[in-house]
Structure 1
């Protein structure tokens, strides 16, 4: 095992509004709330959905390949360097983080879908 699923992150134009829909749909309370992102999580923090503001958002039109679904997966790992070597060996491509930022790195899977490897350092409380 390289890591475990941490969060589903959904791009959207208005995080608070979309989060309200999913709060009702999934019965997950809001645990973080800002103008650029909202996080819903169960009481243990093991089921997390994040809504991320994206400028110029174009909603997906399924199954139109010109307007595909817009979300990515965050995978919690203990060591970014160890996990990076493993995902690169599986065929991932580093998209962001060549300067090795602490806490997360962004990759593309073998067909181009983005995902992030994250560590606890990236989970500092909001102030």
Structure 2
């Protein structure tokens, strides 16, 4: 082993907004939550497991172009798979916090877009 995963960084136009979306999605905590504002260049989310690493971080990118799903004109760049107990319940939850349904998926996973346009999947626990 050369090293260990410390931070996963997603480029986006509004780091605070995407950090809050992701914290709600995964049960994490936005670092600096009383001070996070629209001018922040970098916002981190700690996740609810031992050691709180890796972090998810969101970095402002001027001129950000969201991925095009499912096309490849602008590739998806990165995506998260999020396990849920029930796809229908999970879908209601992610739509309520600002995700967009793509209509893509199967009976074992579904694809959504976060508020910055990054695709992510809800997957069943057995997958």
TM-score normalised over the length of structure 1 = 0.50
TM-score normalised over the length of structure 2 = 0.50
